[in-house]
Structure 1
Amino acid sequence: MTGFSPTRMIGGRYVVLGSIGSTSVGAVWRAADRVTGLQVAVAELHLPSDPDERRLARERLLRVARAAGRLRHAGFIAIHDVVTDDDVDHVVTELVEAPTLAERVASDGPLDERSAAPMARQLAAALHAAHSAGIVHGDISPRTVLLGPDGKVHLAGVGVADAADPLRTTRDPAYVAPELRAGGQATTESDLWAFGATLHFALLGRPPAEDVVPESGGGGVLPNLVVGLMQPAARDRPAARQVVGALDAARLAGAAPVRTRGWMWAVGGVVLGLLIGLAAGFALAGPRIETFGYGPDGDVRLGATSGCLDATAAGGVVLGSADCAGPHGAEIVASLDPFGERDARFPGRDALVRLAASACEPAFHAVVEPPRRADLELVALVPTEAAFDTGEHAVHCVVQAADGSALTGAKVG
C-alpha cells in the first residue's frame, strides 16, 4: 500500500502506524485498515492464560462486541472488528483524535461547572442509550472519556474491559462501584456510580475517597448529581435518563431570566436541590407522567394555580379551586417557574415536558408522605405558547386518584 511503511500487521489487515496509549487491559495502536484505507484504533486485550478462562473471556468479548456494534450513538466510539493475532486478541474501533478527561485535567486543571455540564449531559445520554439496549459499559473513568475539540464527548471501551477483565484486577478502584469491589456483577447502577466518580474527578481534579460519599455543600447542579450518583446503595442512584432530565431542566432554567428567588414552589421546603439531587433518598422510577397543556387553546383551562382543584386533569376540563377538606378532584403538589420575566421566550412544548418530567417526580416524593402515595397518579400541566405569551410560565405538578375518583383530605403532608 502506498503511503504506509508497515512494520507490523495485526490480523493480516491492520497496519500499525504508531502507539496511541494504553487502557486497563492493554496497549492501543493507531493503524490503517488495508481494506477500507481508513485509520482506526486497535486495542490489545491480554486475556487470562488458562485455556478455559481464555475461551470464556473471548466468548464474552464477542458477545459484547456484537451488542456494542449494534449501538449507534454519537457518544460511543464505534467497534468495527475483533481479531486475534499471534494469540493476542484485539478490538478495532473508530479513531477519535481527542485527549482523555484525565489528560485534560492533568494539563489544564479541573473543569468549572459551566464547561463540565455539557460533558456530563452527553455522557448521561450515551449511558441512557446503552442501558436501554441492555449494554453495561463496565469501565467508566477519566481515561475512557474523550473530549473532542468541537465540544463532542465520546465514551470509549463500552463493555470491553469487563469482558476481558471481569474481576477488575487492572482497574483503578476509585472508579469501581463499591458493590463491584465486593465481588458483584457489573450493572447499569455500577456504571452510574463510576459516572459520578468521573464527574467528581472532572470538578475537583482528584478521584473520590474510597467508600466516602462526597458532600455537595450546597453546591450547584453537578455537585448535587455527584452525591446522588455515588450513593452506596445501588437502588438510590438516579437512572441515566433522570440525569439527562435534571441537566436539561437546569439548562432551561439558566438559559432564561430567573428571579432572585429562583424556582418558585407552591409548597414550602421543596428547593432546587431536591430537583437536582434526584436519587439522594428518592425512589424515582415510575410510570410516565401524563402531560396536558393549559391555556386558552390548551387541553385544560386552569382557574387555580395552588391548593386543591375541583376536578381531575383531563382533556377539555376546566380546573377550578376546591376546599381540600372536602372531596376534590386533584391537588397541585408544586409549581415551578424558572423564567421569571413576563417577556421570556417560549422554549417549546418538548422542553417544558422534559422540565416537568425531571421536576415533578422528586417534588411528589418530597412533599407527599409514603402512606398517602398509594393509588395516586402524577400529572403535569404545562403552558401552551398562547398562555406563555401572556405571562403564564409555570409548570404545575398535580396528583389525582389513578381511578379518577374524588380525593378526600389533603394528600400533601
Structure 2
Amino acid sequence: MKRKSLFALSAVVVVAAAALVPVLWSGGDNLHNGTAVAATPADQAELIKRGEYLARAGDCIACHTVRGGKTFAGGLPMATPFGTMFTPNITPDDQYGIGKWTQDDFYRAMHTGRSKDGSLLYPGFPFTSYTKVTRADSDAIYAYLRSVTPVNVASRPHELKFPFNQRNMLIGWRTLFFREGEYKADPTKSVEWNRGAYLIEGLGHCGMCHTSINAMGGPVSSAAFAGGLIPLQNWYAPSLTSNKEAGLGDWDIKDISDLLKNGVSNRGAVFGPMAEVVHNSLQYMSDEDIHAMSTYLKTIPQKKEAPEGLQLETSEKFGGELLKQGQKIYADNCAKCHEANGLGQPPNFPPLANNQSIQMPSAVNPIRMVLNGGYPPSTDGNPKPYGMPPFAQSLSNQEVAAVVTYIRMSWGNHGTPVSPQQVSDLRSAPLD
C-alpha cells in the first residue's frame, strides 16, 4: 500500500490525509483573514494535534520533504513516464507555500483536484481518492500545516514532456477517471469496517500502488486493488484481492495489524516502498485505526486479476538447470537464516515456504531483495529489525536467477523459473 506514487503526474500543491478523526468546531468559531479559527487556544491546539496525526498518517512528509531538507518544503523529484515532477512547498510561507491559502482553498484541492487559482491539479496528487476526505479532516490537516515553520523556498518547475505539460489535457483525463464525492458509509457494515474503508480507499489511497494503471496513467478500475508493477520504481505492489498474492482473507487480524504497525509479523515482513510507508506513517497510527484497516483489508473480495506485465520465460530444460544450481546457492547463502526447509525463523527471518510474495507471477520483488537486500522498517514494535544483505556484488545474473528460481519452486511453492535477463534489467533499476 505504498503511498509514494511515482507512476503518474504530481500535484502542484497539497498533502495526503489518512485517518477518520472527527474534528468538531464549537459554536464560537470565527473568521480571521478568511481562515476559521477555533473558539479557544485549547481548541486550536487540539485541532492542530489532530491535524498532525492525520498528516503523519497520510505520510505527507514522504513526498513533500527531500532527504536532509526542510520538512514539507517540497522539491522531491518524482520520475514518471511523462517526465520528472517536483513536489511543492506546503509550508505556510506566503510567497512559495500555502500561507495565503484559506481552508476553503485547501478543501477544494483535496475534494475537487483544483488549486487555489482554480487550475487543474495533476493526478499524481491522488485527489481521486482524497475527494472522499471529510471536511473536518481537511480542516484539521490545514490547521496543522499552518502551524509548521514556513520555508521560503520556491518549488522547482516540473520537467514534463509535451503534451503532458498542457494542463487543459487533464479535462479528458478527469472525465474518464475522476468521480467527485465524500465517502459514504455502508449502513450494512460496522463502524469499524467503515473507518477501515475510509482509510484504505480514501485517505490512505492504497489503490494508487495496488491497482494497475493504463497508458494514460489512469487506474484499471475493473482490477482495483488487484496489484501491479509500479513503473520506474521497479517494485511490484501485490494484489490485495487474491490470496495467491497478498490477499489477506486467510490471515488473522493480529498478523495483519502487526504487519501494518510494526512492519513484521509471523506471516512476513515489508520491504521496499511499503517499508517506507510503515516507517513514516503507519507505525504512528492508533491501534484502533490499524485494527479498522486490518478489518477492512481482510474482507476485500476476490476481484478480476490485474493485467499481467511481461514476464520473461525460460525453457523447461534451462529452468531445471537453474533450479539445480539454485539449490546449492541457497544452501551456501540463505539457509542459515531461512532454514534448509524454507520455514525461516519468524518474525526476524520470514518463511519462504508457502510465501505468496515469493511465488506470485511477478518475480520482481524477490529478485530485488536478493540483489539489493534491505531492512524492514524500524518501529516501536520492532526497533532493531533484522536485515538481509545484498548479493548484487557476489552473485552473477544467472546465479541470482537460479536462487530465486529455487525458492519459487521448492517446499511446495508454485512459482516459475526466473530469466537471467530479467535480473540484468533489474540490476540497474533505481533503488528508490
The alignment's TM-score, normalised by the length of structure 1, stands at 0.31
Structure label with greater radius of gyration: 1
- Structure with the higher fraction of residues in strand conformation: 1
- Structure with the higher fraction of residues in helix conformation: 2
Q: 1 or 2 for the larger relative contact order (CA 8 Å, sep ≥6)?
A: 2
